[in-house]
Amino acid sequence: MIVLQYVPYTYIGTEAIHSLTTGVMQASPTHTLAFKVPGLTGGAITADPACVEHILKANFANYPKGELQVSMLDDFLGHGIFNSDGEQWLWQRKAASYEFNKRSLRNFVVDAVRFEVVERLLPLLDRAGRDGRTLDVQDVLERFAFDNICRVAFGEDPACLAEEGMAAPQSAEFMAAFNDAQNAVMARFMSPAKWLWRVKRLLGMEPERRMRSALATIHGYADKIVRERKERGEAAGLVSREDFLSRFAAAGEHNDESLRDVVTNFILAGRDTTSSALTWFFWLVSTRPDVEDKILREVRAVRASGGGAASTPSLDELREMHYLHAAITESMRLYPPVPADTHSCKEDDFLPDGTFVGKGWLMTYCAFAMARLEGVWGKDCEEFRPERWLDEEGAFRAESPFKYAVFHAGPRMCLGKEMAYIQMKSIAACVLERFSLRYAGGEGHPRLIMSLTLRMGGGLPMQVKSRTEVAS
């Protein structure tokens, strides 16, 4: 165990946090560190798969979200599935799991993705290519994901990716408010004094002042959707709809506030994670023409064998794209949408490597750092190499979820994992089949910025060219 003096991340600068944590994890013989400073909450950070398994599975009951984390997210996420523990979390998990396992929801997600790809994303890329414009692909993917998750979560289309002027003003406000709320929440977590945000809120200081305005917009928008759905739907109407809100509302077991929490929690989960993953994927692929060529050849071969008549790949075709699956998985290994996750320690404990974790301490595992440990992933751990996920026959081969904790693991394993892959593979296949994307941000590595998910500072500027133009 390494015990360090507490270093307030607030003063380091958010760009340095991931490299700092990774460096410490690499230097530690156990890939774990612990710290305790008088007057401040103690904590431990690990990138050891065995410790991750202990936290997320073997001793799961001892590592809940905890009162501190729940309280910091309460005004934003309420008591939704991502911000609750115990029985409150368990019944939501069971209800959500039941819905996620239905074929009808999976088909609904496929249809929603197909619409957004064919009607909005591909035409937008085509216009950018013809006009010679540099496009911020991160912004495009975030708007795509927001439209898509709103359709899936509550059956509404904010049209944020539609042509300029087509989106409703309140939809743009809702999306902007979501960004402001996430930034404010991140500031709360980054502060060395976990009570400071309450003082700022009381005094109307930034970013809490902006948070108050953002929450008014978010809650107002979500409440309106819930109210209208219940007014016009009622029993039979709700059952006939496929979106997540209608499925929960049809059960008749939730009040309006609980349904609002369902909306905000699933928007948070579905919007920023997939857009973050695809942003880093398209950047990495643009730096590796050999990987891009392999993806393109696989997509074309699979599409040709299936007739290739449909505008987007079918579910069966997506399942056959093993190299694409490996490339997306490898991209998320290096740039996990959620680079670290924190739990609270309920009672004194010892991790498998011998590290002591005290009652009330914050226990964090860092997937970003784990990806860069030679002892876990080999000497080529920092290389983008999709082949590490393929067997001798070229079929995708999964790793332990505790070694690859991108989708969490254990009882809180991400329910939307399959749907996330459907969305990401469909977008990647459709885009790369038709367009070549080249990074236009100059030399060097894109800047990392801290949010609740891993984002690029300054966006992802890319030049778009159609494949027909590239071929000629």
Which parts are annotated binding residues for heme? 414
Structure tokens at 132: 């010679």
Structure tokens at 13: 């600068």
Q: Are 432 and 292 in contact (CB under 8 A)?
A: yes
Mutual angle of helices 208-240 and 137-154, in 10-degree steps: 50
Backbone CA torsion sign across 266, 422, 52, 56: positive
| Residue appearing with tokens 């305005």 | 213
* Nearest-angstrom CA–CA distance, 341 and 315: 31
Residues annotated within the binding site are: 414
Beta strands across the sheet bearing 435-439: 134-136, 461-466, 435-439
* Nearest-angstrom CA–CA distance, 176 and 300: 38
Q: How far is CA 43 from the centre of its chain?
A: 24
- What distances in angstroms separate CA 113 from CA 122, 392, 430, one per listed residue? 12, 32, 11
Beta strands 461-466 and 134-136, pairing class: antiparallel
* Nearest-angstrom CA–CA distance, 349 and 352: 10
Torsion of CA 16, 19, 22, 24, to 10 degrees: -60
| CB proximity list for 45: less than 8 A, separation 6 or greater | 21, 24, 25, 32, 33, 34, 340, 364, 365, 366
Direct distance between the N- and C-terminal alpha carbons of the chain, in angstroms, rounded to an integer: 59
* Nearest-angstrom CA–CA distance, 301 and 67: 52
* Nearest-angstrom CA–CA distance, 16 and 413: 28
Structure tokens at 444: 């060097």
